[in-house]
């Protein structure tokens, strides 16, 4: 049994170079497939340099971006391994990442394994975290740093290849900084570890640290190409409905090299929610936004309406199933707990 790692990347060449270094350092060698999803930067030269250094990479190049789901599906179409693992081009994998995921698949059938997702906060101002080049608009901030400060903030290929413990020591739970991402990570992993019967474990899926058998992925048709946020949760829902089981990949860590721009907030950019709900008509979907907002500090959700665990998500959904719109579900939830819905 072999893993195929699908790396989705668009205009993040400096980070992709480090992602590839982390894959070259794996204790169990995977097939690596990089999907260059319409990049306009020097991604091609990064891939060429990695190949010249002896790394076996299958490259899929899109002239126009196909989005996260389309890119992931295109990579999966080229995979020859029995297990698919998904990684983003701005994310590092711990040296035993592949091995820990594969240990689960070798011991348990029909598993969707979600690993531990961390972030490296100090990278968010850099276009290239190794050389310390600034993101557009951050030139003055980087110019003010001393050489010692810059050295502490950089992420080098040498550390990734030879001293990964220093990378891990800088990491914090959650894919972004802040209390909300940390609390979400903790509640998702707690549910996976301690509440295996919870029917909403699909909501604990990860977009950049997840593995599934190739057979199961292809059986359900892969990612929904019309979803580019929360496509991993929608896929996990279909997989679990098809008989797969969500499970934690304990110790299988990834590290997001955070950035200041280019990310989308699912609480603001909510078009995904309408399609997701129309496709499945389950109340947990629109209540995800209530859960996420409940974890922010301060929370805009009244105390009586807050949802703090996946088990609470299931209970809240059971009280307000039936409305034909996502907003209708949320209004039903607020009415059920006796508070006025937010405008």
Which of the four pLDDT bands, split at 50, 70 and 90, describes residue 212?
very high
Whether 117 and 51 map to the same domain: the answer is yes
Question: Which of 98 and 271 is assigned the larger pLDDT?
Answer: 98
pLDDT at 339: 81
Whole-number Å distance between alpha carbons of 273 and 288 = 9
286 CA to centre of own chain: 20
Whole-number Å distance between alpha carbons of 132 and 135 = 9
Does residue 324 form part of some domain?
yes
pLDDT at 323: 78
Half-sphere exposure of 337 (CA within 13 A, CB side): 20
Whether 104 and 191 map to the same domain: the answer is yes
- For the chain, give the number of residues: 343
Whether 225 and 317 map to the same domain: the answer is no
Q: Which of 213, 233, 257 is the last residue of a domain?
A: 257
pLDDT at 341: 63
* Positive or negative: CA dihedral 107, 236, 89, 125: negative
What domain count does the chain have?
A: 2
Whether 112 and 230 map to the same domain: the answer is yes
Angle between helix axes 271-280 and 326-336 (nearest 10 degrees) is 80
Whether 251 and 276 map to the same domain: the answer is no
Whether 222 and 310 map to the same domain: the answer is no
Q: Is the peptide bond before 49 cis (omega within 30 degrees of 0)?
A: no
Whether 105 and 225 map to the same domain: the answer is yes
List residues bridging with 117 in a β-sheet: 254
Does residue 161 form part of some domain?
no
pLDDT above 80 (res 270): no
Does residue 113 form part of some domain?
yes
Whether 240 and 281 map to the same domain: the answer is no
**Residues of the domain holding 309:** 271-336
Whether 252 and 283 map to the same domain: the answer is no
Which of the four pLDDT bands, split at 50, 70 and 90, describes residue 214?
very high
Whether 186 and 279 map to the same domain: the answer is no
Does residue 309 form part of some domain?
yes
Does residue 136 form part of some domain?
no
Does residue 298 form part of some domain?
yes
CATH number, residue 191: 3.90.550.10
pLDDT at 260: 62
Q: Which of 257, 285, 310 is the last residue of a domain?
A: 257
The pTM of the full predicted model, rounded to 2 decimals, is 0.93
Q: How many CB atoms lie within 10 A of CB 56?
A: 11
Whether 55 and 187 map to the same domain: the answer is yes
pLDDT above 80 (res 24): yes
Whole-number Å distance between alpha carbons of 138 and 70 = 32
Dump pLDDT digits (tens) for 316-343. Answer: 999 987 777 889 999 999 999 998 765 4
Q: Which of 225, 257, 289 is the last residue of a domain?
A: 257
**Where would I find the H helices in 85-178?**
97-107, 139-143, 147-153, 157-162, 164-169
pLDDT at 124: 87
Whole-number Å distance between alpha carbons of 279 and 55 = 41
Does residue 50 form part of some domain?
yes
88 CA to centre of own chain: 7
What the block records as the tokens of 120 is 């490296």
Whether 228 and 325 map to the same domain: the answer is no
């Amino acid at each position: 049994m072999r893993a195929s790692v699908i790396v989705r990347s668009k205009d993040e060449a400096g980070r992709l170079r480090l992602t590839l270094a982390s894959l070259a350092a794996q204790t169990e060698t995977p097939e690596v497939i990089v999907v260059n999803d319409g990049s306009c930067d020097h991604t091609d030269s990064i891939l060429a340099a990695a190949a010249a250094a002896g790394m076996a990479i299958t490259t899929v190049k899109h002239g126009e971006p196909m989005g996260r789901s389309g890119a992931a599906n295109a990579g999966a179409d080229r995979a020859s391994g029995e297990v698919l693992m998904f990684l983003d081009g701005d994310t590092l994998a711990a040296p035993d990442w592949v091995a820990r995921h594969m240990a689960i698949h070798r011991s348990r059938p029909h598993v969707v394994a979600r690993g531990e997702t961390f972030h490296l906060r100090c990278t968010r101002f850099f276009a290239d975290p190794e050389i310390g080049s600034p993101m557009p608009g951050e030139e003055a901030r980087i110019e003010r740093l001393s050489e010692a400060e810059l050295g502490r903030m950089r992420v080098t290929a040498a550390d990734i290849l030879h001293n990964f413990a220093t990378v891990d020591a800088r990491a914090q739970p959650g894919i972004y900084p802040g209390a909300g991402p940390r609390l979400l990570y903790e509640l998702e992993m707690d549910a996976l570890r301690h509440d295996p019967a919870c029917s909403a474990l699909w909501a604990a899926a990860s977009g950049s640290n997840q593995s599934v058998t190739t057979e199961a992925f292809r059986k359900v048709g892969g990612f929904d190409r019309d979803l580019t946020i929360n496509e991993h949760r929608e896929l996990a829902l279909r997989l679990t409905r098809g008989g797969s089981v969500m499970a934690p990949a304990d110790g299988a860590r990834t590290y997001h090299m955070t950035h200041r721009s280019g990310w989308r907030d699912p609480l603001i950019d909510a078009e995904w929610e309408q399609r997701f709900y129309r496709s499945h008509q389950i109340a947990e979907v629109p209540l995800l936004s209530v859960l996420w907002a409940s974890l922010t500090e301060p929370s805009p959700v009244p105390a009586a309406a807050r949802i703090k665990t996946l088990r609470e998500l299931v209970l809240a959904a059971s009280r307000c199933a039936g409305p034909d719109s996502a907003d209708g579900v949320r209004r039903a939830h607020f009415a059920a707990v006796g508070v006025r819905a937010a405008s």
